A and B are shown apart, each in its own frame.
Chain A
């Protein structure tokens, strides 16, 4: 792996465009966790999320010469990834939405919806809240879910989400508003 973490994304991309492909490994290292979590948001399956996000890296690497620097690398990369994820969602309309409750049970996974109550009660409520959250996310149109996950889970700005989703900022605001309102409606009883 390339040692220096000091390079900016754009510099690393430039190296890759000049044929020094080994610098791409640093970009993989930098974005693999975010990429995996975005993919996981769509697939709810560790293996599929890993495959999808790795595919996105391979595609980005193949097309690195097409990157023209008009957007940041991560916006460009997220677009590739989100397109793959949307494609996946289209072909797997019945995504096995693992309950967030199951995630909570996995080592290190923390989803606490009701932490001020006693332990068993807290767990029961958190479990129910997770199930509701999963159901609500599952019922959402793909684009609403994408906008929500990119904003809420990944912290992308609305401007960046618009670039990733190739739509207007106004449309993203609408998607986000609808997604948030739906989640509030279904989850507020648990908090």
Chain B
């Protein structure tokens, strides 16, 4: 076992190239240059040897049982289908409205419109909503209030009649007193 303190250092200006060399990422000329350097530099050779020991075990992946992958695949496909259904919900909704139904709906709608126009004597104004006449709230009275107003009207009428009666009798009194006075003078 090596001790970290005794780690051989690679040449700083070669270290990155050595990593690329390990992964096979240098082109021909670079590769030859690195190989040439490795043949003479103990520190860099040690660096590459260390990578060859350290990195391969790290690349080993956790091996999962086949059942895991079968389940994974099934789940993913189910999720894809579910997503597809969500995306196309409107198509499902419109599925019954197929080919022949579109002109049929058109014909029915047209017929209804024509019949409506004929029976409505071409008066389209009935289709237009009239603005409702707005009545102030205070004017809207309920039946009790109407009864009250009627009673008030009647009382007013009675007052007038009484007044009229009073005026008549007064006139009559004046007239008879004048007759009496006249007779007395005569």
Q: Which residues of A approach B to under 8 Å, CB–CB? A: 1, 21, 24-25, 28-29, 32-33, 36-37, 40, 50, 54, 57-58, 61-62, 103, 106-113, 125, 129, 133, 151-153, 157-158, 173-174, 176-177, 180-181, 183-191
Contact = CB atoms under 8 A, between A and B. Distances in A.
Nearest to A109: B62
Contacts, number: 119
B80 A153 contact: no
A189 to B, nearest CB: 5
Interface string B126-155: 000000000000000000000000000000
Given A62-B83, A177-B19, A181-B19, 20 more contacts: A25-B80, A37-B61, A54-B75, A58-B83, A61-B80, A103-B62, A107-B63, A108-B62, A110-B60, A111-B60, A112-B57, A151-B23, A158-B20, A176-B19, A180-B51, A183-B54, A184-B7, A184-B47, A188-B7, A188-B54
Interface stretch (B64-72, B116-124, B163-171, B178-186): B64-72
The SS class assigned to the B binding surface is helix
Interface of B: 1-4, 7, 15-16, 19-20, 22-23, 25, 47, 50-51, 53-55, 57-65, 69, 72-73, 75-77, 79-80, 83-84, 87
Contact of A189 (B4, B57, B59, B75): B4
A184 B4 CA distance: 10
A21 B87 CA distance: 13
Contacts of A153: 58-59, 61
Given A21-B84, A32-B76, A108 B16 contact: no
